[in-house]
Structure 1
């Protein structure tokens, strides 16, 4: 396995000042974070996901462009929609280069705050990108029976692996790829993935089973190492899961099938991960568990903090976006950034 070096974003990596009632580092330094392992997979983990992927690949996604095209940051932008599993219609956006040829495609997902518009500057040059709002999340895929806030969304259907909403969100990614390739056939030549926080965890769950994807960027990914995660207080969706676990420890039997670090053991394509040393929203040990478990070529960008405003954040964000664009373009990731 080829492993690329750890790099750091610009600036001081000491923890920022805060007033949280808990330590957002949870007592982990970088060396300890790099030693966090993934839980053992249930015996039928891979079979469970391969069957779900096969079902999603049978969906007629029926994508369509909705409304007029506009131009933003040198990209043409239009609203799109497509059908995912269980007949759920997913809304989002499509961006394609203005006056340039498409050389690759990308599925770009969002954090638990949802998405109100695409971020065209994040895509490498020549990329056609679909920006779905995953089911139940805003602004384009709200559902009447699904909570749109992370605290409720992350628990919806958690009583059984078949009904857990996170599985539907993973299928939305696979169906987004199908829709993108239908709308922009040139995107099929090289397909990549970009996901942050919620979208980072969803990506780790989705990518191992879909051979169409060739590279990915995951930023502060959630859903990593649930047995550890339920012991760590946070301000994000993990707190709802931690509370449910305290009431019903058997919830881990379902969560075992939705562990992003466990899934990363099966992920063999090149993956760039940005993980934070300090993060009140997504505990850092879970983020690093995803990176540590990756089975293929990988690159890690260490952030001072995630989900938290801090000095130097603009420079960190700029370095991260440039590193991900470089990585997803297919360039040699060894050339990006200084070695820590």
Structure 2
């Protein structure tokens, strides 16, 4: 059991040591996995995002902030924000993905300077709400899960690709210098999106979810994985879809430099799934080990500061 005191009915380390986590492999990958995603990416890039900006009413030192809308697949309007550095040239661009709680505002404590930051809200969440998609993670992650080509996670990946398109249209000077950073849900969506989009050159995945679904189905959580476990117990066919939406499988096709932060203790995104994503990455990779994820813990502030410094150096090369 973990050395953290907790009230969960399960051990959020799942009995894995760091050494064992570093040996978690990827699941079996469908033969047409790459073809499925590459075709989807090519179709998505035929969509013009038509980004629209309006000034955000709240000022923020160091940034000019805009409310943003752009068009995604299925004629879905995605809301978010664009941050531009004040009185400094834009040298690079960054798309920033959010966790399953969505986001109410952009982040401003950002480790990378001279950067245009685009913060999309993935479909169904926060500024991109649209019935009948539920904002509740339990139900959002199940939306159209019985339809491989319509599953909600695929639409969210397309939202990310078109966020890159919107960023390049709004800030053409970022061509060749685009990065991605995403946490939890955003980390998993990023992992699924990265292999196919050559426009993204570096990425950070923080506690990425959706890694190694067959293993996730064996591990109790309080996160979206619980909904998938419940669905599997009732219907028994969830892997027919999820084998095409596995972040660890996608990582095996990812050749750009990726920095991963993965947790040893996490009741929301089981650590073996997080490490499965890191372990499967095919290109240059680095790992920062978090003592815990999705909970407060004594070393959190120190680890957050250390990771911020790591990311500043990592994205400086973008």
Question: Scaled by the length of structure 1, what TM-score is found?
Answer: 0.91
Query: In structure 2, how many angstroms separate the alpha carbons of the residues matched to 1:326 and 1:73?
Result: 23
2:11 match: 23
Q: Deviations for 1:210-245, whole angstroms, at most 9, x for unmatched residues?
A: 000000000000000000001100010000001111
**1:147-186 correspondence to structure 2 within 5 Å:** 147-186=134-173
1:246 match: 233
Does residue 88 in structure 1 map to residue 76 in structure 2?
yes
1:32 match: 20
1:195 match: 182
1:121 deviates by 2.2
1:120 deviates by 2.6
CA contact 2:176–2:201 (8 Å) conserved in 1: no
CA contact 2:45–2:162 (8 Å) conserved in 1: yes
2:102 match: 114
2:128 match: 141
Query: In structure 2, how many angstroms separate the alpha carbons of the residues matched to 1:101 and 1:56?
Result: 30
Query: In structure 2, how many angstroms separate the alpha carbons of the residues matched to 1:109 and 1:68?
Result: 19
Query: In structure 2, how many angstroms separate the alpha carbons of the residues matched to 1:185 and 1:232?
Result: 44
1:73 deviates by 4.6
Does residue 319 in structure 1 map to residue 306 in structure 2?
yes
1:64 match: 52
2:262 match: 275
Query: In structure 2, how many angstroms separate the alpha carbons of the residues matched to 1:68 and 1:287?
Result: 35
Moved more, 19-28 or 65-74: 65-74
Q: Deviations for 1:2-30, whole angstroms, at most 9, x for unmatched residues?
A: xxxxxxxxxxxx74211110000000000
* Residues paired across the two proteins, number: 317
Query: In structure 1, how many angstroms separate the alpha carbons of the residues matched to 2:185 and 2:208?
Result: 6
1:297 deviates by 0.2
CA contact 2:213–2:246 (8 Å) conserved in 1: yes
> Which segments of structure 1 move beyond 2 Å, counting only runs of 4 or more?
66-73, 120-123
CA contact 2:111–2:309 (8 Å) conserved in 1: no
1:68 deviates by 4.2
Query: In structure 1, how many angstroms separate the alpha carbons of the residues matched to 2:61 and 2:182?
Result: 20
In structure 1, stretches of 5+ residues that fail to align are: 1-13, 332-340
Query: In structure 2, how many angstroms separate the alpha carbons of the residues matched to 1:150 and 1:15?
Result: 28
Out of 237, 241, 250, which is 2:224 matched to?
237
1:253 deviates by 1.4
Moved more, 236-245 or 319-328: 319-328
Q: Deviations for 1:122-164, whole angstroms, at most 9, x for unmatched residues?
A: 25111101000000001x1011210001000000000011110
In structure 2, stretches of 5+ residues that fail to align are: none
1:206 match: 193
2:66 match: 78
Q: Deviations for 1:253-310, whole angstroms, at most 9, x for unmatched residues?
A: 1100000000000000000000000000000000000000000000000000000111
Query: In structure 2, how many angstroms separate the alpha carbons of the residues matched to 1:189 and 1:294?
Result: 21
1:55 deviates by 1.1
1:52 deviates by 0.8
1:255 match: 242
Out of 267, 282, 288, which is 2:275 matched to?
288
Question: Scaled by the length of structure 2, what TM-score is found?
Answer: 0.97
